[in-house]
Amino acid sequence: MTADINWIANYIWGICDDVLRDLYTRGKYRDAVLPMTALA
C-alpha cells in the first residue's frame, strides 16, 4: 500500500514538474498541487 501511495505522489509531482515548470516557481507548486490531487 505504501508503494502505491509513493507511486501516486511521484506521478503527481512529475506532472507538476512537466506542466507547471514555467507557470509557477518551485516553491509555489503547492498552490496547484492540492487541486490537481483532488481532481485525480
- Residue ranges of domains in the chain: 2-39
pLDDT of res. 34: 73
pLDDT of residue 4: 86
Q: What local confidence, expressed as pLDDT, does residue 39 receive?
A: 64
CA 31 to chain centre: 10
pLDDT of residue 40: 56
For residues 16 and 18, give the distance between their C-alpha atoms in angstroms, rounded to a whole number.
5
The DSSP 8-state label assigned to residue 27 in this structure reads G
pLDDT tens readout for residues 1-40? 788 888 988 887 787 777 766 777 767 767 777 776 766 5
Predicted structure pTM score: 0.49
Q: What pLDDT, on the 0 to 100 scale, is given for residue 3?
A: 84
